[in-house]
Amino acid sequence: MLKIDMFSTATKVKGQGVGSAYTELIRLLKTHFPNEFAIEINRYNQADISHYHTINPTFYLSTFSHKRGRKIGYVHFLPETLEESLKLPVGLKQLFYRYVIAFYRRMDQIVVVNPTFIPELEKYGIPKDRITYIPNFVSKNEFHPVPTTEKHRLRTRYDYSERFTVVCTGQVQTRKGVFDFAKLAQANPDYQFIWVGGFSFGSMTAGYSELKHLVENPPANLSFPGIVEREHLVDYYNLADVFLLPSYNELFPMSVLEAFSCGLPVILRDLPLYQQIIAGYYAPAQTGTQMNDWLHRLATDPMEWERFHQKAVAASDRYSEDHLAHIWHDFYLQQAQLENAKGKSHVEK
């Protein structure tokens, strides 16, 4: 049985995608491969593979131990992707960014959730053959569509009216396009807008004061229910008619996969990273005006809504748990073989 040590503190911060991706992977491995992989969490015991999901200093120090086996780093962000998320003093920011890259360089293999990261990591001196792309996924058992009658019941339960409903889930951050979401709400008073999420990093969030003011004083048809426990997120997708994420900077958001899995038509700002991984599955928009046009089309044309519903279903199959289970299984076995080969070469020398 292959011994895999997982190192993560991602679940300590609620309402952010790294924790969701980590939780999904642990559950996948324990469900699909209970007799092939022995999983331990933050234990520092002898392992065949050590998989680092977060970059804690204690985890970095552990990479110098021979007990770690093959070291795998999960890259959910790069220094430049943090610019619009966190507000740090200049000196501390530079030090932290150098540390991030130093951590990645300590890994034997890097896993990225988006292929656009590969050339950027190469610029930091990490060879391409040490980088593997494995996309995120979600469980259809956890995120799935419900009948129309259940949609009505959910709206009543959460105190929403029977209006065309637009939902987004994610941290309240400027880079996520929260202000654009609010402008769309103002432009469409007959629609209902819901942003599920909050300030996972508190006042460290870039633009915190302005964002906090919006959350506390939103347009009448926009609500901010705050950070919701993961098991209740499915309710918000299922009470909505459309998922809209106006983000300017993303990796591979779990929220989009969750929306697909619930069969929701998805509208996204047409970022280059989406074009590489989910092109054809969502309604692309470059501007707020184009997003507004898509909302009107999906709200008034049942055939158009159904077309993007079917695209969501197709996307959820592509990024399903069953499909990704095989990919992760083969990846871990390959990494174990590489570690064994390295050990044999050292013995021969």
Q: Rounded to whole angstroms, how far apart are CA atoms 48 and 91?
A: 38
Q: Given a cut of 50, is residue 347 above it in pLDDT?
A: no
What is the Cα–Cα distance from 20 to 18, expressed in whole angstroms?
Answer: 5
- The pLDDT value recorded for residue 319 is 87
Exposure of 172 in the CB half-sphere (CA atoms within 13 A) = 29
User: How does residue 275 score in pLDDT terms, banded at 50, 70 and 90?
Assistant: confident
Query: Mean pLDDT over residues 176-191, rounded?
Result: 96
Model pLDDT for residues 11-41, shown as the tens digit of each residue: 876 656 678 888 889 999 999 999 999 999 9
Among the residue ranges 161-170, 175-184, 273-282, the one predicted with the least confidence is: 273-282
Exposure on the CB side of residue 277, measured as CA atoms within 13 A: 25
pLDDT for the residue 253: 79
Instruction: Provide the 10 A C-beta neighbour count for residue 121.
Output: 20
User: pLDDT digits over 139-174, tens only?
Assistant: 888 899 999 899 999 999 999 999 999 999 988 888
Mean pLDDT, the chain, as a whole number?
A: 90
DSSP bridge pairs for 165? 192
- Which has more pLDDT, 284 or 272? 284
pTM of the model: 0.82
Asked whether residue 320 carries a pLDDT value surpassing 70, the answer given is yes
Q: What are phi and psi of 321, to 5 degrees?
A: -60, -45
pLDDT given at position 70: 97
- The pLDDT value recorded for residue 250 is 78
What is the per-residue pLDDT across 196-255, written as a single tens digit (0 to 9) for each? 998 766 666 667 888 899 999 999 999 999 989 888 999 999 999 999 999 988 777 789
What's the confidence (pLDDT) of residue 348? 47
Angle at which helices 254-261 and 230-239 cross, to 10°? 60
Task: Report yes or no: 87 and 42 within 8 Å, Cβ to Cβ.
Answer: no
Confidence of residue 194 (pLDDT cuts 50, 70, 90): very high
